[in-house]
């Protein structure tokens, strides 16, 4: 007969049973936390946020960084007063109170998301409430120390820390691959960015323009040193206020740019030797093509005859279209395509725009494109092509990443044509419509553009202009192209009521160059001595 277990043995069995039960409860809780709760919160088992590398400017200034935050979930069934809990949590986190009330009252799952990406301050407010049934989950929030200063370039991330615009989207794979190991250096120089933004905003306010923007590009590397689009927005706020806009008009909008486009008409004519700069062109009172007669802009008062160089310097439409017609539509289209103006710009910035140009490229289209109407391109596309004209005639690719060394590629136009164009653009500033862009010692060349603004039904808006200026400096040893644009500026008392580019965009370019050239190491030199009668 077996001996009955003693007291000591019974205690061992009971203790072992309790241990098994305890481990079982722990196991069940782990399964609940890792699987069930994650599923109830949104169906994802792995909610870990992937770290993103920092973004910096070319000099190492921090532009974007991950900050540790918490996502907050609640178990409303343990609240004594669900409506009061919703009210208090909304006040502490900024969440929508109506959403919380509806979620707490009608929750299909035990867990309800209260708010995402809570900062330490918000977490402290939540903890101070003393509510039961709250759980925090580690997360990350992207922070932009410079706020609005480069908002449209950098873009933003979503609550899962994935890029949804700007370089955050364009460099998504690279930023996540590097994680917290080092930083990605952009081509942006925040010193230049601040100056361009400040002067552009000041001009926008002075001339009450609808929008404004600017781009600074290194003509030998294609690096975008600065890019501004106004109105802008605060990327840290994650919401728009007032007249804010996330749209980058320099990259994702296209415009008929008007007379700045004449740079390409003249480059083509000089490249193909269809005219020379001393040749005289008849301007008269209009130029007839078929049943259409093209006139100069109403504000322009041209002489009967103009030399080739003065056609550009004084920005004559009639003279420019005659040069364009000598090349013809087929050759004009081919040349613009070679400069990359007939396709979208592809690079790290996902925001891009497809150019608009005529399907039927006939005589009238060739003429109007010759003076910058009838074709619409993005400012970024225009700047790239303009840089190719002045950098010795070699192809470049725009980039928002810091580069080392010369990145010019194949020859697009002859070096001699590029040299002639640089001389010609300097002449526009010294003797033409670009005088207000001149900065003593920095040898600025450039071209004004005062384009009509397309309206509904294919007609142009009355008394509305889109003004711009394309500058290259120093023009005889080019390093940078600056392009600025003002959308529908208005004249002031100081400009005599005129809103033309020579009075609005050109002085803006001059102010920017005078401030950024010293920072960029551009030497300030006296103007070159020219012999009497020299045209060079």
Tokens of 436: 């207000």
For 110, how many CA atoms within 13 A lie in the half-sphere containing its CB? Answer: 11
* Distance separating alpha carbons of residues 368 and 246, to the nearest angstrom: 32
Which position among 139, 187, 259, 378 bears the catalytic label? 259
C-alpha distances in Å from residue 313, one per residue of 272, 310, 364: 20, 5, 23
245 is catalytic: no
* Distance separating alpha carbons of residues 486 and 263, to the nearest angstrom: 19
What number of other Cβ atoms are within 10 A of residue 299's Cβ?
Answer: 11
Three-state helix/strand/coil letters over 390-438: HCCCECCCCECECCCCCCCCCECCCHHHHHHHHHHHHHHHHHCCCHHHC
CA-derived radius of gyration, the chain: 32
User: How large is the angle between the packed helices 317-327 and 329-338, nearest 10 degrees?
Assistant: 90
The strand ranges marked E within 133-221 are 134-143, 183-185, 211-218
* Distance separating alpha carbons of residues 387 and 482, to the nearest angstrom: 9
C-alpha distances in Å from residue 504, one per residue of 254, 434, 484: 20, 11, 10
> Helix (H, G, I), strand (E, B), or coil: what is residue 269?
helix
* H or E, element range at 473: strand 460-473
**Euclidean distance between the first and the last CA atom of the chain, given in angstroms as a whole number:** 125
* Distance separating alpha carbons of residues 370 and 274, to the nearest angstrom: 14
* H or E, element range at 23: helix 7-31
Backbone angles phi, psi at 339, to 5 degrees: -85, 0
**Can you name the residues that pair with 156 across neighbouring β-strands?**
none
Give the residue carrying structure tokens 């009668």. Answer: 533
What number of other Cβ atoms are within 10 A of residue 429's Cβ?
Answer: 29
> Which residue from 134, 50, 119, 53 is spatially nearest to 88, judged by alpha carbons?
134
- Would you please indicate which residues are annotated as catalytic (active-site) residues? 259
């Amino acid at each position: 007969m077996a001996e009955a277990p003693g007291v000591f043995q019974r205690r061992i069995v009971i203790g072992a049973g309790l241990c098994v039960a305890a481990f079982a409860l722990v196991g069940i809780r782990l399964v609940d936390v890792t699987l069930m709760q994650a599923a109830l919160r949104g169906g994802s088992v792995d909610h870990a946020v992937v770290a993103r590398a920092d973004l910096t400017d070319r000099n190492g200034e921090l532009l974007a960084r991950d900050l540790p935050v918490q996502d907050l979930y609640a178990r409303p069934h343990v609240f004594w007063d669900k409506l009061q809990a919703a009210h208090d949590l909304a006040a502490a986190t900024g969440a929508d109170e109506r959403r919380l009330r509806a979620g707490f009252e009608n929750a299909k799952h035990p867990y309800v998301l209260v708010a995402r990406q809570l900062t330490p301050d918000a977490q402290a407010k939540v903890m101070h409430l003393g509510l039961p049934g709250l759980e925090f989950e580690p997360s990350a929030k992207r922070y932009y120390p410079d706020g609005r200063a480069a908002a449209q370039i950098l873009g933003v991330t979503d609550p899962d820390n994935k890029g949804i615009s700007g370089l955050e989207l364009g460099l998504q794979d690279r930023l996540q691959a590097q994680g917290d190991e080092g930083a990605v250096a952009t081509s942006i120089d925040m010193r230049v960015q601040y100056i361009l933004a400040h002067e552009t905003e000041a001009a926008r306010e002075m001339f009450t323009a609808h929008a404004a923007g600017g781009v600074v590009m290194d003509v030998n590397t294609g690096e975008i040193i600065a890019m501004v689009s106004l109105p802008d927005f605060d990327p840290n706020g994650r919401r728009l206020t007032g007249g804010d806009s996330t749209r980058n008009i320099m990259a994702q909008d296209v415009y008929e740019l008007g007379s700045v486009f004449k740079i390409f008409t003249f480059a083509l004519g000089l490249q193909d030797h269809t005219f020379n700069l001393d040749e005289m062109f008849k301007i008269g009172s209009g130029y007839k093509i078929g049943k259409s007669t093209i006139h100069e802009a109403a504000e322009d008062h041209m002489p009967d005859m103009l030399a080739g160089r003065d056609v550009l310097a004084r920005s004559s439409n009639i003279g420019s279209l005659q040069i364009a017609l000598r090349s013809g539509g087929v050759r004009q289209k081919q040349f613009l395509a070679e400069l990359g103006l007939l396709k979208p710009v592809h690079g790290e910035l996902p925001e891009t725009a497809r150019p608009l140009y005529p399907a039927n490229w006939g005589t009238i289209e060739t003429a109007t494109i010759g003076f910058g109407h009838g074709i619409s391109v993005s400012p970024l596309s225009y700047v790239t092509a303009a840089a190719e004209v002045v950098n010795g005639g070699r192809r470049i690719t725009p980039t928002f990443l810091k580069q080392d060394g010369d990145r010019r590629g194949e020859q697009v136009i002859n070096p001699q044509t590029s040299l002639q164009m640089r001389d010609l653009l300097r002449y526009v500033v010294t003797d033409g419509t670009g005088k207000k862009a001149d900065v003593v010692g920095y040898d600025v060349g450039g071209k004004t553009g005062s384009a009509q603004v397309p309206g509904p039904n294919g007609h142009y808006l009355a008394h509305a202009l889109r003004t711009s200026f394309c500058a290259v400096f120093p023009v005889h040893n080019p390093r940078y192209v600056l392009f600025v644009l003002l959308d529908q500026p208005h004249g002031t008392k100081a400009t005599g009521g005129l809103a033309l580019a020579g009075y609005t965009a050109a002085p803006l370019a001059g102010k920017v160059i005078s401030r950024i050239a010293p920072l960029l190491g551009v030497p300030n030199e006296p103007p070159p001595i020219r012999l009497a009668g020299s045209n060079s």
